[in-house]
Amino acid sequence: MRRTPYFVTGTDTEIGKTLIAAALLDLARERDLRCVALKPVAAGCTAVDGELVNDDALQLIAASGTDLDYRTVNPVALKPAIAPHIAAQQAGIELNAAALSRHCLDALAGEVDFAIVEGAGGWLVPLNATETLADVCLGIGARPILTVGMKLGCLNHALLTASAIAEAGGELAGWVANCPTPEMPVFEQNVVTLRERLVAPCLGVVPYLGGDATYRHAAPYLDIEALLG
């Protein structure tokens, strides 16, 4: 791994983390960078040929162009679309931050120029009784990228998440304002407030692109240069 990996987290679930992660990977590949993307834990998986797979992980594989096998990209695939630690308990699986971190570091050990690890839900989603996905981010030395789902309440959610990242010793690499639904009232004023309050570069403002939008539709709204220094 030539650069510090990035960990894409969000202010909530279903706010476009995968869309943004995949779009950043697409931009990196346009610069001929060798990319890898990982989704260590995924819930809401479906069975394909007897194996549980996750749509988000498949999007990351497509965007990154990685030749890693599916289970390396997504080592923990859980069927119910519920909190991962609860889904893991139901499946008799013990989630462990150290084990997930080791898996990620092993997967990123090759000739990689740009790597993204995508979380599940938000920054403090539990893995077990004492650990969260934040421990995986910190365990692999990744810098968080915050996807802000632009809807009512996002200012509080974004500032709380940024504060939690800082308190944990993380360094926010940047943030993206993404509209998962038609634009919220006083949208521009909310973006201005985020620019004023978040001590990290804004990597882009992505408008509502419709339900059929792909990461290639989002990529033109993002600026990856701050991540390549």
Phi and psi at residue 83, to the nearest 5°: -50, 130
Distant-in-sequence, close-in-space partners of 210: CB < 8 Å, separation ≥ 6? none
Residue 119 token pair:
């979380």
Strand 51-53 relative to strand 46-48, pairing: antiparallel
Q: Which of 17, 39, 79, 151 is an active site residue?
A: 39
Alpha carbon distance 208, 214 (integer Å): 12
How many C-beta atoms surround the C-beta of residue 43 within 10 A?
23
Q: Which residue, among 173, 177, 175, has the nearest Cα to 228 in the 3D structure?
A: 173
Percent helix / strand / coil, the chain, rounded to 5: 40, 20, 40
The dihedral of CA 72, 211, 14, 47: what is its sign? negative
Active site residue 17: no
Q: Which residue has the tokens 């809401």?
A: 44
- What residues are annotated to the active site? 39
